[in-house]
Amino acid sequence: MNEAAKETECRRPEPGKQDALPTVQANQALVNARDIAKTYSIGKRSLEVLRHLNLTVARGDFLSVRGASGAGKSTLMHLLGGLDVPTAGEVWFDGKNLATMPGLELSRFRNRKIGFVFQAYHLLPELTALENVCLPARMARMNASQAAARGRELLKRVGLGERLEHRPYELSGGEQQRVAIARALVNEPELILADEPTGNLDSHTGEETIELLCALRAERRTTLIIATHDSKLAARAPRVIELVDGQVKGEPA
């Protein structure tokens, strides 16, 4: 493994030692948020969540987004993943402005380019583990046998090779999150967005889940962004930013 690859792996930092942040060249950028803002209307009130936020994420980067509850982490993840649109500013992904994409094109783009891992798992209860993992592949028009083969391979990789036919209610929280991780990877996305992926897990299961997510990311050289309020988890990434008052703190805008 070359030195550049080593720098992007998930690691536990040595006490008192910090990694230098990687320099992001314009032609390496996978995600570029330009002066974005997000305001929600609640009755007659307006809630400003993000304010003039700028963020560039390079292809292959591993980034943690820290912040207290309500700091805007989930809002930022939704904007970066094209699940929502900013009130102002632009989000570019691989040279495409997400806001200019028609709805169907954006849905297909998300399906093929981005893998989502949520705190609440969002597995369909009537489907088996294998069927849940294969669902994004089938939506991408992959044939059933190829999707099933890829789903079995991923479930085996996350340690659930013997639980293919189990439904979510037959799995523990940690096992459900493993299914969700496999589902996020089934279309071989360029970006994984993990929003509080250990929030519903105990500390031991959460640590195992992060180890797995980091290992899979390193194997596939996938860009990974994790949003968390947990400083210990955030420190696993070579690059860490913090959201304070709707803006990025911790590195130049």
Q: Across residues 145-170, what is the average pLDDT?
A: 96
In this prediction, residue 23 has a pLDDT band, given cuts at 50, 70 and 90, of: very low
In this prediction, residue 38 has a pLDDT band, given cuts at 50, 70 and 90, of: very high
Note the pLDDT tens digit of each residue in 2-18: 444 444 455 554 443 33
User: Given this model, what pLDDT does residue 26 score?
Assistant: 39
Note the pLDDT tens digit of each residue in 46-95: 889 999 999 999 999 999 999 888 889 999 999 999 999 999 999 999 98
| Six token digits for residue 43 | 């009755």
Q: Across residues 159-180, what is the average pLDDT?
A: 95
Q: Across residues 138-160, what is the average pLDDT?
A: 95
DSSP state of 183: H
Note the pLDDT tens digit of each residue in 206-226: 888 888 888 888 888 899 999
User: Given this model, what pLDDT does residue 250 score?
Assistant: 64
What does pTM read for this prediction? 0.85
Lowest mean pLDDT among 10-14, 181-185, 200-204, 241-245: 10-14
Lowest mean pLDDT among 6-10, 195-199, 205-209, 231-235: 6-10
User: Given this model, what pLDDT does residue 225 score?
Assistant: 96
R_g of the chain, CA atoms, integer Å: 18
| Rounded Cα–Cα distance for residues 13 and 9 (Å) | 11
Per the CB < 8 A criterion, the answer to whether 142 and 148 are in contact is no
Per the CB < 8 A criterion, the answer to whether 247 and 52 are in contact is yes
Per the CB < 8 A criterion, the answer to whether 8 and 19 are in contact is no
In this prediction, residue 139 has a pLDDT band, given cuts at 50, 70 and 90, of: very high
Query: Is the pLDDT at 27 greater than 50, yes or no?
Result: no
Residue 73: which residues within 8 A CB-CB, separation 6 or more? Answer: 65, 66, 67, 195, 196, 227, 228, 229, 243
| Six token digits for residue 148 | 């099933």
Q: Between 167 and 68, name the one with better pLDDT.
A: 167
Percent of the chain with pLDDT over 70: 88
**Which domains occur in the chain, in start order?**
61-85+101-249 (3.40.50.300)
Please provide the average confidence, as pLDDT, over all residues in the chain: 87
- Residue 214's alpha-carbon distances to 205, 220, 227, 241, in angstroms, are 14, 10, 14, 18
Query: Is the pLDDT at 25 greater than 50, yes or no?
Result: no
User: Given this model, what pLDDT does residue 18 score?
Assistant: 36
| Rounded Cα–Cα distance for residues 183 and 151 (Å) | 8
- Listed in sequence order, the DSSP H helices in 172-242 are 173-185, 203-220, 231-234
User: Given this model, what pLDDT does residue 7 score?
Assistant: 43
Per the CB < 8 A criterion, the answer to whether 173 and 201 are in contact is yes
| Six token digits for residue 92 | 């570019």
